[in-house]
Amino acid sequence: MKKIISIAEAAQLIKENSSLMVGGFLRCGTPVKVIDELVKNKTGGLTLIANDTSYPEYDRGKLVVNRLVKKAIVTHIGTNPETGRQMNAGEMDIELVPMGTLVERIRSAGAGLGGVLTPTGIGTVVAEGKQTVEIDGKPYLLEKPLRADCALIYASKADKFGNAFLDGTTRNFNTVMATAAQTVILEADEITDEPLDPAEITIPGIFIDYIAV
């Protein structure tokens, strides 16, 4: 069985100045309860790794509005004006990463790889400061693995062993992030005492450290 802990206990596992992956695409498949607790605790100095910074009034957007994020590694910030304001004011560091590249960097960390080679970003500001590798006469950027101290992920349903089912597009970043953090905390809409059918398991329980309820 996985250790089932309270939302408050889960938030205590995320320390000041740590790196935090948060699953979801905008509000789809995003864990929210632990984030609300982080806001309550004023846990700051975070490096946020996510697809986006959501909206000002929702989930990880609240971390930005409450000035708890020192750096965000994301694919876009357009839905949260406060992110752009803080970036332009020099109050928060933003690393914009092409979406496919972000996924592959996280995936390569989870797989224990040294990085991925991609042509995306060649000849643009994305390539600045990065190693270029030529294969068969074509240049590729070496994108290094991206890991985190902690990952917050969402599931539609989970069993007490940590096996998780994610419905449809809620899978998004949750599946890869579950493999690439030192500590993985799961929030689920439903927790069952009976084991999930193997055919419906999206994320095996071996990747989950805690279930927050």
Identify the CATH number of the domain in which residue 46 sits.
3.40.1080.10
Is residue 185 included in any domain, yes or no?
yes
Across 146-151, average pLDDT: 98
What percentage of the chain reaches a pLDDT higher than 70? Answer: 100
Residue 2 binned pLDDT confidence (cut-offs 50, 70, 90): confident
**Quick count: other Cβ atoms within 10 Å of Cβ 31?**
24
Q: What residue has token string 């998780």?
A: 164
117 DSSP assignment: E
State residue 1's pLDDT score. 67
State residue 172's pLDDT score. 96
Is residue 127 included in any domain, yes or no?
no
Is residue 9 included in any domain, yes or no?
yes
The C-alpha atoms of residue 196 and residue 174 are separated, in whole angstroms, by 18
The C-alpha atoms of residue 13 and residue 148 are separated, in whole angstroms, by 13
Kindly report whether the global pTM for this prediction surpasses the value 0.85: yes
Residue 116 binned pLDDT confidence (cut-offs 50, 70, 90): very high
Tokens of residue 9, six digits: 């206990």
Pairing mode, if any, of strands 157-159 and 164-165?
Answer: antiparallel
User: Which range of residues forms the domain containing residue 66?
Assistant: 3-114+145-212
Please, are residues 201 and 163 in contact by the beta-carbon 8 Å criterion?
A: yes
Is residue 76 included in any domain, yes or no?
yes
Is residue 119 included in any domain, yes or no?
no
Is residue 133 included in any domain, yes or no?
no
Across 72-101, average pLDDT: 97
What percentage of the chain reaches a pLDDT higher than 90? Answer: 99
Which residues, 6 or more positions from 124, have their beta carbon under 8 angstroms from its beta carbon? none
- List the single range of 29-33, 40-44, 63-67, 124-128 with lowest mean pLDDT: 124-128
Number of domains the chain is built from: 1
Across 65-76, average pLDDT: 98
Is residue 122 included in any domain, yes or no?
no
Across 38-56, average pLDDT: 98
Is residue 98 included in any domain, yes or no?
yes
**Quick count: other Cβ atoms within 10 Å of Cβ 123?**
8
- The overall average pLDDT reported for the chain is 97
Residue 128 binned pLDDT confidence (cut-offs 50, 70, 90): very high
pLDDT at 168 over 80: yes
Please, are residues 129 and 199 in contact by the beta-carbon 8 Å criterion?
A: no
pLDDT at 175 over 90: yes
